[in-house]
Amino acid sequence: MTETTLFSPLQMGAVKLQHRVVLAPLTRMRSEQPGNVPGALMAEYYRQRASAGGLLISEATQVMPTGQGYPHTPGIHSDAQQEGWRKAAAAVHSKAGLLYIQLWHVGRISHSSHQPDGGLPQAPSAIAASGTALTADWKSVPFEVPRALELSELPGIVAAFRAGAHRAIAAGCDGVEVHGANGYLLEQFLQSRSNQRTDQYGGSIENRARLLLEVVDAVVAEIGAERAGIRLSPWGVANGSGEDDPAPLYSYVITELAKRKLAFIHVIEGRASGIGRGELGRTDGPSALSLARPLWPGVLIAASGYERDTAMADVAEGRVDGVAFGRHFIANPDLPSRLKLNAPLNPYDRSTFYGGTAKGYTDYPALETV
């Protein structure tokens, strides 16, 4: 029996990966303005990181204007944005890579300066997140108390995720990942800290999971389960998130997702914060893999400050099927090759993670040019 390694092929729904090194979704805030359109620079960024049969998951991409929470993040709700993603997908496909778009609504992790009408951000309940928002003019200010979504508005949010999935496939992308992690809207509905509704979307675990599952069902109805995945962060603390006891909630969610036969689940391990504003500082968090693996029969991807040795071990020992890398993939466009060769890695420059131009984005050297 052949040993499974980080560099073994993997059938993932409708696509076959030639290795298991995945580009994690990474917000970089470099879309073209006006319109939050993926431009030529973004297409080059993804092209550089593409490899034959390698999976790239795009940066979080808002499915509707009210879903934006940061400056210059791309969308997938206009014709111009769809055309921009078409160019990015073509660039990735020129190297035989695969591109999945991460579908996103930030909910309360926004600011009125990003909202189309200058109104308050939307959320399950009128509860402000802890921490600071980044305004449209790049200033850090305390989060505003959001506006609780009306029951009548929720079908429109579900429809926006479905439309985003349709546009992603129409643009030539290979699939989508629903963003259900890191304290954004779908996780805000999941968790009792941010969801204190008294209607059918609040209270019990089943009610709090309703919107996420409705979104998943709509995406599956549009593009098929074999091209859809989801990202979860059961023990995440990003953006004021966190459930006192995540196990019952996420056991229910993962069990329900298993019935839907998605192409993959992508979990952020408990030892990671899930956002890139600082270095990882948690080393003893509970294991999302230990929770998910027994409940999820399909492809399981994990992200969480992995290094080569830990990624190799987790795949070889069957804890995970693929490993998503963030910071190392930013600084090493040819990361799969470097990991396979056990070659040195370029250091990353955190000061260039968000916003800017080519510096710290498309100017990291590949191995043959080092």
Axis-axis angle for helices 154-170, 210-223 (nearest 10): 30
Helices (H), 154-307: 154-170, 185-190, 205-208, 210-223, 246-260, 288-292
CA torsion sign for 363, 366, 369, 370 is positive
Give the whole-angstrom CA distance, residue 29 versus residue 197: 32
Give the whole-angstrom CA distance, residue 162 versus residue 224: 11
Residues assigned a catalytic role: 184
CA atoms within 13 A on the CB side of 290: 8
Running DSSP on this structure, what letter comes out for residue 303? E
Give the whole-angstrom CA distance, residue 347 versus residue 345: 6
CA distances for 212 relative to 85, 252, 289, angstroms: 25, 12, 20
Q: Which tokens hold the place of 201?
A: 């979307």
